[in-house]
Amino acid sequence: MQTTSPGRIDRAYVWMIAPAAILFTAMLTIPLLTGFFYTFTNYAGYGDWRFVGFANYLNLFRDDVVWGSYAFTLLYAVSATILINVIALSLALLLNSAIKGQTFFRGLFFLPNILPVLIVAYIFQYLFTNNLPAIGQALGWEWLSTSLLANENTAWMVIVFVGVWQAVAFSTIVYLAGLQTVPEEVYEAAAIDGASRWEQFRRMTFPLIMPFFTINMVLSFKNSLGVFDQVVALTNGGPGTATQSISFLIFRNGFQGGEYAYQTANGIIYFILVLVISFAQLRFLSSKDTNA
């Protein structure tokens, strides 16, 4: 049997890792560095280019369209994250209780997560554009007689609704996994002490599933910051630019609008923002978990 000296890495491990390392470098690292390089140019995605220094980054902070996309994205992310976790935790508590058809309902509530996002969004787009206005007209409700997607004050709510409807399923499963780790003896002891259901949840259940709450909060907020498919299918960024998310703006103007270098710089800023918010959120929630 061949042995290796301490401190040396077996070649077999190197050959097993090499293909993944090469693919990672070719598919991710090199494009990332190339894109970062182009942020200091006026490259449009084709043709000639020249260096412009930090002009792209400076112009981003003066662009009202970019600021509008960040405002919409943060509004969507905050609203969706709160709704996802409130609804998912409520469903998980319900599905974890002794109800008939528990397995069936668990599968039913997870169904939205396995459906293609674009197809679901297009179905909702048809409903909000055709069916709901017809119902509103029949009932004489003026606010529902026209498509909610055509109104910049309500279009973002529809996007939040569709995004939450599909994202709740995954968070519910995570919360269910957390609730399964809570010993039944904890509830029995609390019942003997006369604790109400709300006191049991606030003082025992929630602190014990805090790590799962942290995971869900970070993942749901990060995923919500990248909202794209719902925007494409429901509003295409409209009315006007009212529901134009950051990822949608980068895709449309960067790949279709000749702003490759400019939107790549926007992507770098966006990446840093997501990274900072995710780490801050994780640090804050982890401290709460430790204190609990």
pLDDT tens per residue, range 139-174? 888 888 889 999 989 999 999 999 999 999 999 999
Cα–Cα distance between 91 and 267 in angstroms, integer?
36
Confidence of residue 1 (pLDDT cuts 50, 70, 90): very low
Pair (16, 101) in one structural domain:
no
| Total structural domains within the chain | 2
Sign of CA dihedral 205, 207, 208, 213: positive
How many Å separate Cα 179 from the centre of its chain? 23
Pair (214, 269) in one structural domain:
yes
Pair (158, 280) in one structural domain:
yes
CA atoms within a 13 Å half-sphere pointing along the CA-CB vector of 240: 8
Cα–Cα distance between 263 and 252 in angstroms, integer?
9
Q: What is the CATH number of the domain that holds 102?
A: 1.10.3720.10
Task: Give the per-residue pLDDT at 195.
Answer: 77
Pair (13, 151) in one structural domain:
no
Average of per-residue pLDDT across 54-72: 95
In terms of residue numbers, what domain contains 241? 56-291
Name the one residue in this structure whose structure tokens are 């280019």: 49
Q: Is residue 48 part of a domain?
A: no
242 and 65 Cβ atoms separated by less than 8 Å:
no
Lowest mean pLDDT among 26-40, 91-105, 201-215, 239-253: 91-105
Cβ-based neighbours of 1, under 8 Å, separated by 6 or more: none
Percentage of the residues of the chain whose pLDDT score is greater than 90: 53
Name the one residue in this structure whose structure tokens are 């939040």: 160
Q: Is residue 103 part of a domain?
A: yes
Pair (118, 235) in one structural domain:
yes
Global pTM reads 0.87
Pair (81, 152) in one structural domain:
yes
Q: Is residue 203 part of a domain?
A: yes
Strands (E), 175-259: none
| Per-residue H/E/C for 19-81 | HHHHHHHHHHHHHHHHHHHHCCECCCCCCCCCECCCHHHHHHCCCHHHHHHHHHHHHHHHHHH
Pair (21, 77) in one structural domain:
no
Pair (143, 270) in one structural domain:
yes
